[in-house]
Amino acid sequence: MIPFGTIDKRKTGASSLGYVRLLLALVFALSQTSAAEQQDNRYQVNQAKGIDQRINYRSLEKFGPWDDRNYNITSSDLNFLPPQDARMRSQLPAFFRIELRKKWPHLMQSGPAQYPRAALQMFHRKYGGLMRNGAIESDRRVLARRRALSRRMAIQNNKEVQLNEIEGANEISVEINPTNPTHAIAGANNYGGQEMYYSTDGGANWIIQGELPDTCCDPSIDFSSDGTIAYVAALSGDIGVSTWRSFDGGQTWVDRVYLTESGSDKEFIHVDKSPQSPFQDNVYLTYHNGNIMQFARSTDNGLSYDIQEFPEAPRGIGSDITTDAAGNIYHFYAAFGVWGMADESIVLLKSLDGGETFESPATVAETNGEFDFPIPAQETRGALIYAAADADQSGGSYDGSIYVSWTDTYDVETDDPETNHTQIKVAYSRDGGDTWNISIPHPVEDVETVDRFHQWLTVDEYGNVHVVYYDTQHSESRKDVDFYYSMSADGAVNWSTPERITSETSANLTDLQEFGDYNGLSVVGDNIVSAWTDNRAGPPNAKDVYADDKVNDGATPGFLQSASSTNQFVCAPNDLEPIEISIWSIMSFDNPVTLDFSDLPGGFSGGFNNYSVTPASPENTATAQVSVSTISGGEYSFGITGTATGANEKSTIINVTVFDSIPKGTASLLDPTDGSTNIWTAPRLTWTEVPDALSYTIEIDDDADFGSIDFTLSTTETSVMPDSSLVAEQQYYWRVLPTNTCGTGPVSESSSFTTGLYRSPFMDIPNDGNSAFDTFVIETSGQFANGYPHQIADLNLMIQATHTWVGDLAFDLVHEDSGTTVSLMHSYWDPNAPIDVDDCGGKNIYATLDDDASTSVKDACYQSEDPADPAIFGSLSPYEELSAFNGEVFSGTWRLDVTDFYPFADEGTLVQWGLVPTFGGADDDSDGDGVADISDFCPGTKIPESVPTKGRLGKKKWALTEAGNLDFVQGAPQTNHSFNTIDTAGCSCEQIVEEAGYSTNYLKRGCPTSKMKKWASTHHVLSGQDSDNDGVDDAIDFCPDTVIPESVPTKTFGKNRWALTEAGNFSFIQAPPQSGSRHTFTTADTAGCSCEQIVEESGYSTNYLKRGCPTSKIKKWARKH
């Protein structure tokens, strides 16, 4: 096979300048086209295009990004998706999820990793990308065919070299020939398939070999023990596993073997190279099928494989294999629980017989994270937890040690990228995997501000352990990354000062693949080659793969150096915290190391308690003490260097922020604004940044003089939220004090705010299927000044809750004193939920529930790229109307119930909630129509009204024509009827026409008697009371003192007879055989009367009391009342 691209960093002189300009022009043109395509990504889901109108096609976006091919989904297709499928973070559109489920029924039905990580690449390879508005967005297949036009020159930075020519390569693996360190092979994902590269000068320059046919991704490379055979594995076809061999250092690939046809993921290859092993040159592969771990073995140099699986082992993903000198196999992977039903951990499967049999699974360590988790630099795809392992076969001090590394969260995993913080962990075992210890190969004091992830680990032939990883320390937002390297010469107990490999920071990637899942590292002899996905040409997305070759300090006798307290703050003049320098020996090197300062800034001075340190293992140490004189504040740095005869110089950088005074400025308070009212009882307080402030102290008090401060808060940010509740309906004052290492700066002016009727319980929402509730007792707010109880005319509810899947939650508001309950939000997973409730997969709620809102809470599910944006947000109407509380006395006990109907999955907290009432009482009549606001069907009535619009009232027509007169006036000749605003529930003729939908012709001459009677019969001024609890307001209750159940029947129920026989049920019950079952009657139909009362009021025969009321009598009564 002829290589079609060569990258040589020594051949980029002026003679190629014209060619470079031409290529840059072509790349620019293509980038402009791509940008234009990206800007045209606006789309709308057109329900009419769907082939099955029983489906709400817009709702399919909960499974993943919209794709027009979703229009071909039918209701039966949706049955292939398990109930919790929408919870998967995988960015696959619904139609492709269904396609995969049909093809691979073995995929898990629950848990965090149901789809292969490579499914997204498979989607792009097969379909090119998302189809919207009938067109493919940035078709990957077209981009792959444009290779000839879009080749780019390599970008050379120090020793870094770009391997790919077409933009978009990622997830790179690299391996050096074990017998010839000048030869190396690498592979990466790219749009056309898995692209292979090779180097003949130790990684200084690379040649593009080409793409392996019918492949997509996850390259993995190794060599035979004598270096004559190179092996590569790849995902191919419908995500199957294939291997190839090369006999010419990766220039050509032959002998393809298909291990699986489809449905596999995350394969890695390993060759047993130990001359002491009885299984030398066995080839091993690990991968998973539906998260069941698989192991493949070849005993004939990769020509054929036998496969076994581990269905009884914990499910997982992200595996690696290593072997020790005796040929024992160590098969590691990251296992995950199924949404809290099992432990997450790094698992070891060990074989002592070359893979014939394996011991029972053993736990190396539990993990905080599960499968993957979002962080700012990997907010969409998530940082994957995977194993990278190796073994020490050096014959040295740590011979036989087994190592495995992984990325993990520092604390419990969340769905919020901002709250996840990552570390690299390295576990080491000196007893064949029976026991384990863990170290961290990078600083840990900055874990809250720096993420490290996507590590790789290897052990060289001298026993040194090497690790590379992404690091965000040069990005305040934690979104941008650099590539770092660290080494241990004492069996992973201690680590060298991390070394930055990249000379330029990579900008955050915004495509769905982002930085992929892993990076590459290989060490042979004195040569270290590392490889990674890079976006230095961004933002937004200019993705490439890079490699770097550096000298292995562990290949020759020498020393390693590291230091503590490398980032410090100091108030000048003062001393820095003592800096401890550790010196380790490599290969028993014991020449003294001389310590000194380099580039010490003016005003800095210092010394060491021991200027000469002998390298050792364990390490020897010295302490540096540095003083800072009176100098200007600012950022400073210096180096601590170690030099020794016969070894390379080492240097550790110390960064110092110097303050020369307390903060001089004062904070300006921004929110809540001074004098604000109706503020949360756990408000978010914000203010302006003060120069030279390291942190802020916030004081809150109900006394304007801050005589006895109620709350004191501290933060390094310019906003803070109390973690406990302030008192409701209380005026508070707050102020901010800036601080740094020199002390506290001037206090800000104070500002006041008054809390509303809120509570801030910070209550955990149970995720075990049980309900929780929070109660709010309203006392003083429930009375007018004259002692008359406040009655509710309108009620809104505000709610703030954190939750990682709000569609799980249902909320009910209960007024315990009246027994009224309103369903505010339904959960899609509630078996009794209405059918029109969708599952909202977003996070968090910050909403005002208001009957008058234009958008219903059932239609609200805001999806934003910003994790701070709540899914349920703004002013929304509740599922049931809060007007059910209108007319009730506001005081008493209110209860907010919350239930998570999808147990053992997502978690959350009810942060705060509150009531916003509008009061009305018996004397409140805002429009002066004689009807209290709480019972006024037509607020805003005007008297006189504009009717009649054509001069005088028509014959026998009615309208409110006289100012101050609440009686309707009738046009001559007059009848013996009369109507007033009490009869019409506060409505004028004009309002009756509008509300009832009558002909507007009535406005010309007035409302006819028939329309007035009809309106008055159905609209009544209610009292808001139901004294006998029969479901009928006292104002229209024809039969007060109704008892339910009533005493009828006094004998036995007669056939088809009716009575109120069930306590709490306002519906009449009919006796069998219910031949009149087409009828139904309630107390609303009978004006609050029972069968017994109907008999008494109508003078019917008391015999009806024995057997119940006949249908004919009930109907007759209902027509009249």
Q: Give one DSSP letter per residue of 189-250, joined into a string.
A: EETTEEEEEEESSTTSSEEEEEEPTTEEEEEEEEE-TTSS-EEEEEEETBTEEEEEEESSTT
Spatial contact of 296 and 306, defined as CB atoms under 8 Å apart: yes
pLDDT given at position 26: 29
| Residue closest to 180 by CA, chosen among 525, 626, 689, 511 | 525
Dist CA 613 CA 622 (whole Å): 7
Instruction: Decide which of 3.50.50.60, 3.40.50.300, 2.60.40.10, 3.40.30.10 is the CATH code for 559-659.
Output: 2.60.40.10
User: What is the pLDDT at residue 889?
Assistant: 80
- Distance from C-alpha of 939 to C-alpha of 201, rounded to nearest angstrom: 87
Q: Is 117 exposed, middle or buried (0-12, 13-18, 19+ CB in 10 A)?
A: buried
Instruction: Give the DSSP per-residue string, 445-508.
Output: TTTTT--EEEEEEEE-TTS-EEEEEEE-TT-TTS-SBEEEEEEESSTTSS-PPPEE--SSPBPP
CA distance linking residue 38 with residue 30, whole number of Å: 12
CA 609, chain centre distance (Å): 50
For residue 165, CA distances in Å to 4, 8, 196, 631 come to 10, 13, 12, 50
> Looking up tokens 């009756």, which residue turns up?
992
Closest CA to 531 of 7, 159, 152: 159
**pLDDT at 90 (0 to 100):** 66
What's the CATH superfamily of 758-920?
Galactose-binding domain-like (2.60.120.260)
Inter-residue contact 900 to 808 (CB < 8 Å):
yes
What confidence score (pLDDT) does residue 2 get? 27
Select the CATH number that applies to the domain covering 144-555 from these four: 3.40.50.300, 1.10.10.10, 2.120.10.10, 1.20.1560.10.
Answer: 2.120.10.10
Say if CB 501 and CB 530 are below 8 A apart: yes
φ, ψ at 381 (rounded to 5°) = -75, -30
Instruction: Report the half-sphere exposure of 532 (CA within 13 A, side-chain side).
Output: 28
C-alpha distance from residue 1056 to each of 348, 1070, 1086, 1104 (Å): 73, 6, 18, 12
- How many whole angstroms separate alpha carbon 878 and alpha carbon 858? 8
- pLDDT at residue number 1077: 53
Portions of the chain given CATH number 2.120.10.10? 144-555
Q: What is the DSSP letter of 748?
A: P
* Residue at 1102: amino acid letter: T
Given the structure tokens 């790919």, which residue do they identify?
A: 164
Amino acid at 671: D
Q: Sign (positive/negative) of CA torsion 829, 834, 835, 837?
A: negative
- Note whether 343 and 356 are within 8 A (CB): no
Tell me how far CA of residue 935 lies from CA of 588, 820, 929, 979, 1017, in angstroms: 93, 18, 11, 17, 15
CA distance 594 to 640: 10
In angstroms, the CA 92 to CA 107 distance is: 15
Q: Are the C-beta atoms of residues 472 and 500 closer than 8 Å to each other?
A: no
Task: Please give the pLDDT value at position 935.
Answer: 73
Cβ proximity of 887 and 829 under 8 Å: no
Distances (CA, A) of 873 to 559, 876, 983: 58, 8, 41
Hunting for tokens 């808060």 — which residue is that?
Answer: 713
Nearest of 526, 623, 633, 534 to residue 582 by alpha carbon: 623
Q: Per residue, what are the HEC states of 772-783?
A: EEEEEEECHHHE
Which structure tokens are listed for 778?
Answer: 């309203």
Over 391-458, what HEC string results? ECCCCCCCCCCEEEEEEEECCCCCCCHHHCCEEEEEEEECCCCCCCEEECCCCCCCCCCCCEEEEEEE
What is the rounded radius of gyration, in angstroms, for the C-alpha atoms of the chain?
38
Nearest to 1053 by CA among 1108, 1110, 1112, 1090: 1108
What is the block-wise mean pLDDT of the chain (1121 residues), using blocks of 10 residues?
A: 28 30 29 33 79 86 88 92 74 90 80 75 81 77 42 48 90 95 94 90 92 91 96 89 96 95 89 97 94 95 96 91 98 76 83 96 93 91 94 95 97 87 98 97 92 97 96 94 96 93 94 90 94 92 93 91 91 96 92 96 96 93 97 95 93 94 95 93 95 95 93 93 89 96 96 93 87 80 43 89 89 92 88 75 90 89 69 92 86 91 83 87 76 79 93 92 94 90 92 92 93 87 80 85 94 90 91 74 91 93 92 88 79
The pLDDT, as a whole number, for residue 3 is: 30
The tokens for 351 are 């074989």
Does domain 669-755 fall into CATH 2.60.40.10? yes
Residue 774 CB burial class (10 angstroms; 0-12, 13-18, ≥19): middle
Q: How are beta strands 193-199 and 184-190 bridged, if at all? A: antiparallel
Helices and strands: H and E segment counts in the chain:
12, 66
What does the pLDDT read at residue 29?
31
Instruction: Return the SS3 of 1090.
Output: coil
Q: What is the DSSP letter of 280?
A: T
CATH 2.60.40.10 placement within the chain: 559-659, 669-755
d(CA 949, CA 907) in angstroms, rounded, equals: 62
- Say what the pTM is: 0.68
Question: Contact 773/741 with Cβ under 8 angstroms?
Answer: no
Whole-number Å distance between alpha carbons of 730 and 700: 12
Q: What is the pLDDT, as a whole number, of residue 818?
A: 87
- Rounded Cα distance, 871 and 804, in Å: 10
User: Do 1094 and 1086 contact (CB within 8 A), yes or no?
Assistant: yes
- Contact in structure between 547 and 206 (CB atoms under 8 Å): yes
705: helix, coil or strand? coil
Q: Report the distance separating Cα 239 and Cα 260, nearest Å.
A: 8
* 8-state DSSP, 939: T
* Beta partners for residue 811, in sequence order: 825, 898
The upper half-sphere exposure of residue 312, i.e. CA atoms within 13 Å in the direction of its Cβ, equals 6
Asked whether the bond before 540 is cis by omega within 30 degrees of 0, the reply is yes
Neighbours of 386 (CB within 10 A): 27
Nearest to 517 by CA among 450, 472, 456: 456
Q: Which residues, at least 6 apart from 64, have a Cβ–Cβ distance to it below 8 Å?
A: 90, 91, 92, 93, 94, 96, 97
Residue 433 contacts residue 362 (beta carbons within 8 Å): yes
> In sequence order, which residues have a C-beta less than 8 Å from that of residue 229 and are 6 or more positions away?
223, 245, 246, 247, 301, 302
